Amino acid sequence: MRIRVINPNTTEAMTTSIAAAAESVAWPGTSVTTVNPSMGPVSIESHYDEALSVPGILTEIRRAESEGTAGYVLACFGDPGLDAARELATGPVLGIAEAAMHMASHLGRGFSVVTTLERTVGRAWDLAERYGMSRFCRGVHGCDIAVLELDQNPSTKDILTERCRRAAHDDDSEVIVLGCAGMAGLCRDISREIGLPVIDGVAAAVNLVQSLVSMGLRKSGRGEFAAPLIKPYAGLLDSFGSLPTG
C-alpha cells in the first residue's frame, strides 16, 4: 500500500518533521512518502496562502496518481484543496483537520483546537462545521506562534502546553486537537503533561487512509467527486488542462 502525504507548503524542514509523524504510524507493508510542492507559500496562515497552495497540491496528486498511489493525506490544518484533491484522486484523501476532529469525537464529549495564529481560527470553525464536528468542537484558540516559528522558538512546547491546559479548562473540553502539522512532534509530551488525550492530525489521517484502503474503499466515483472533465487551461496553469493517466 502506497500512501502519499503532502505538506502543502514549500518548507522542506516542515516536510521532514511531518514525514516523521506519518511514518511512525505506517503499518507493516505500507510505504508512506511525504512530499511538498515546488510552488506556493512557505507557510499557510491565511485564506490567501491556502488558496495559493492548491495548485502545488494538485500537481503532487497528479504525479502520485500516475505512480499508483492508494491514498493521500493533506498535511495542513486548513485542509486546503480537499474537494479538488478528491476529484483528482482515485483513492481516499483525508485532511488532517478532518482526521483529527473525527478521532477526537470518539474519545469525549467535546474537544478544543489549539492552533497557531488567531486569524486562522475562523477556518478551523468552517472545517468543523463542514465535517459535522461543530457539535463536538468547544473552542478554537490561537497561540500566537507563526507556523515557521514553531520549531525555532525554544518556548513553543511550554506555550502550547499551557494553551492546551487553559483551553480544556475554559471550554470544559475533554480532548485536545493540535491545529497545525508542525506541532505533531509535541503531541505525546503535551498529553502527558495535561493528562488528556491530545491528537495529532497527521498520525490520525495516515491511520484513517490506511484503514480505508485496507477495506478496499476508495473515493466514490459517482457524482460530485467524479474525475474532473478534461478541458483547456490557459497561461501559467496550462499544464492542468489534462489529467494523469494512472
Nearer to a second copy, 126 or 151 (CB): 126
Grid cell at residue 14: 516542515
Q: Is position 14 an interface residue for a second copy (rule: CB under 8 A)?
A: no
Cross-strand bridge partners of residue 139: 112
Q: Is position 153 an interface residue for a second copy (rule: CB under 8 A)?
A: no
Burial of 108 per CB tally in 10 Å (0-12, 13-18, 19+): middle
Q: Are 142 and 120 in contact (CB under 8 A)?
A: yes
Residue position matching grid coordinates 494512472: 246
Q: Are 36 and 63 in contact (CB under 8 A)?
A: no
Nearer to a second copy, 110 or 156 (CB): 110
Considering only residues 106 to 145 of the shown chain, the ones binding a second copy according to CB under 8 A are: 106-109, 118-119, 121-123, 126, 130-136
Distance in angstroms (rounded) separating the CA atoms of residues 82 and 93: 7
Nearer to a second copy, 67 or 172 (CB): 172
| Coil, helix or strand at residue 231 | coil
Binding region for a second copy (CB under 8 A) out of 104-112, 156-164, 177-185:
104-112
Considering only residues 170 to 209 of the shown chain, the ones binding a second copy according to CB under 8 A are: 172, 174-175, 188, 191, 195-197, 199-200, 203-204, 207-208
Torsion angles phi and psi, residue 111, rounded to 5: -125, 160
Cβ 155 to a second copy shortest distance, Å: 21
Q: Is position 90 an interface residue for a second copy (rule: CB under 8 A)?
A: no
User: What is the greatest pairwise CA distance in the chain?
Assistant: 54
Cross-strand bridge partners of residue 31: 2
Nearer to a second copy, 154 or 223 (CB): 223
43, 115, 116, 161: which one contacts a second copy (CB under 8 A)?
A: 43
Query: Interior CA angle at 151 toward 169 and 106, to 5°?
Result: 40
Binding region for a second copy (CB under 8 A) out of 83-91, 149-157, 159-167, 177-185:
83-91
| Coil, helix or strand at residue 121 | helix
The number of residues that bind a second copy (CB under 8 A) is 94
According to DSSP, residue 192 is labeled: H
81, 139, 182, 185: which one contacts a second copy (CB under 8 A)?
A: 81
Binding region for a second copy (CB under 8 A) out of 31-39, 151-159, 177-185:
31-39
14, 18, 19, 55: which one contacts a second copy (CB under 8 A)?
A: 55
Q: Is position 42 an interface residue for a second copy (rule: CB under 8 A)?
A: yes
